[in-house]
Structure 1
Amino acid sequence: DSLIRSDLESLARHRAISDAALIGGDEDLVSAVEAAQGYGARVHLWGIEAPDGRNQAEALLWEVDSQRTFDLDFFKPYVARRTVATFETATAAHRPSRDDVRFVGAQIAAKWLGARGREALVGLLPGHPYLPGSVDQDLLVEAERLLQYSLRGQSDLRRALRDGFWEHLQAQY
């Protein structure tokens, strides 16, 4: 949402847009809509039909210049909900060790490097120890799949995973 807010305001401020179609519904977008309108842009709120009631904030609906709701069936051929891996709440006995998680991080790094090559690695190195959001998300999802254990709320294991990932990549450079 923060990127949407900053882009909407910036584009309107620089007169790069006269109209903006916003697909969303969060109330925190109201300030961005107000700012864009303050620069003369018209903001049109588009939404997708909610199965149960509304899915757009009332304050946002009041602020926009126009509002349109598309039928859910219109979007179904184009989008699909991602399946989320669910894991049973693991007990401490099933919790992987930091070393196991670090090893999985190294395995994923090897696959990542094999698929993308050294050029992609050179792009990551300046950001060490941080990973770009998309790389980090893919790392966490793949690790949870391999470990069959949720890393949500497990900051020590997440750190071990990232450490294993980085250690393998740095050893290759």
Structure 2
Amino acid sequence: AEQQSIAELPDVKVRLGNLNANNQQKGVDSLIRSDLESLARHRAISDAALLGGDEDLVSAVEAAQGYGARVHLWGIEAPEGRNQAEPLLWEVDSQRTLDLDFFKPYVSRRAALPYEATATRPTREDVRFVGAQIAAKWLAARGRDALVELLPGHPYLPGSVDQDLLVEAEGLLQYSLRGQADLRRALRDGFWEHLQTQY
């Protein structure tokens, strides 16, 4: 309900990921990356303020900077230590820490739950199909020029593309692919097979 009310605000676009078995949203990082890249590519922004700390956001920062946008990382003061990934801090153009006391009435930290061990393991064909599904979405968002740039690297994907693929696939499958080398291979195979049929 809170997210729906925010989505109805003027000049606000809400991006929601897929819910996994633990009712966690997955795939939001790839949606942020897509938005930042698109806005920067069309010169709709010169600067972006990114509130977060997850290392997965590095590819979003790189995508926006690749089109000349400056990315400013905002974070909330940590009670102790640091709560933003170092690779992300290294990549951004500037960093600002916001006062923790200001946010306390509005934001609380929730412990992340692991994927349920009882989740049914998908078949290689299920995962291959999801790879093809994500490839179709990737191609529709980025176009044939991006495909032409990607193909010479076959069978390897750039780190940012591979990370987005894995995160989105886990959201769709509601199953963790960490430590599942055979399923990850099937996912990448499905992704590549679809792209090659479109070239």
TM-score, length basis structure 2: 0.47
- Match of 2:197, as an amino acid? A
Moved over 6 A (4+): none
CA RMSD of superposed structures (Å)? 3.2
- 2:149 aligns with 123
- 1:106 aligns with 132
Q: 2:183 aligns with which of 128, 150, 157?
A: 157
Q: Aligned pair 1:171/2:197, yes or no?
A: yes
Task: Determine helix, strand or coil for the equivalent of 2:170.
Answer: helix
Q: Aligned pair 1:88/2:116, yes or no?
A: yes
Relative distance call for 1:158 and 1:85 in structure 2 (3 A) is farther
| Structure 1: distance between partners of 2:168 and 2:113 | 10
Relative distance call for 1:85 and 1:168 in structure 2 (3 A) is farther
TM-score, length basis structure 1: 0.53
- Identity among equivalent positions (%) equals 76
* CA deviation after TM superposition for structure 1 residue 71, in Å: 5.4
| Structure 1: distance between partners of 2:124 and 2:163 | 19
| Structure 2: distance between partners of 1:85 and 1:157 | 22
| Structure 2: distance between partners of 1:90 and 1:144 | 15
Q: 2:99 aligns with which of 62, 65, 73?
A: 73
Count residues with an aligned counterpart.
107
Relative distance call for 1:108 and 1:85 in structure 2 (3 A) is farther
Task: Determine helix, strand or coil for the equivalent of 2:117.
Answer: coil
Please state which structure has a larger fraction of its residues in helix. Answer: 1
| Structure 2: distance between partners of 1:51 and 1:99 | 46
| Structure 1: distance between partners of 2:116 and 2:132 | 25
